[in-house]
Structure 1
Amino acid sequence: MSPRPYILAETTWKTVREANYEVVVLPWGATEAHNYHLPYATDNFQSDYVAAEAARLAWEQGAKVVVLPGIPFGVNTGQLDITLDINLNPSTQLLILRDVVQVLARQGIPKLVVLNGHGGNDFRQILRELQAEFPTVFLSTLNWFRAADRTAFFSAPGDHADELETSVMLHIAPDLVSPLAEAGSGAAKQFRIQALRQGWAWAQREWSQVSADTGVGDPAAATAEKGAAFLAAVTRNISQFLVELAAADVRDLYE
Structure 2
Amino acid sequence: MEPKQNNLSILNSFNEKCNKNNIWYSLSGLSLLDYQSKKNYSQKNIIEVFMTVDSYKKLLFFFHDNIIDSTTKNNYFFTNPFYFEKELNEVIKINLLIKANIKKTEKYYSIKNLIRQKIGFYKSSNKELKGFLNSIKRTFYSFLNLFWSPLTWQEVCSNIYDDEYRGYFIIDSFSDNINKNWIPSITMEREQINWNDSYTYIFKEWNVFLNKRYGFDWQKKPIISNKKFDYFWINKIKH
TM-score w.r.t. structure 2 length? 0.32
Q: Counting strand residues as a fraction of each chain, which structure ranks higher?
A: 2
Structure 1 or 2, whichever has the larger Rg, is 1
Q: TM-score scaled by structure 1?
A: 0.31
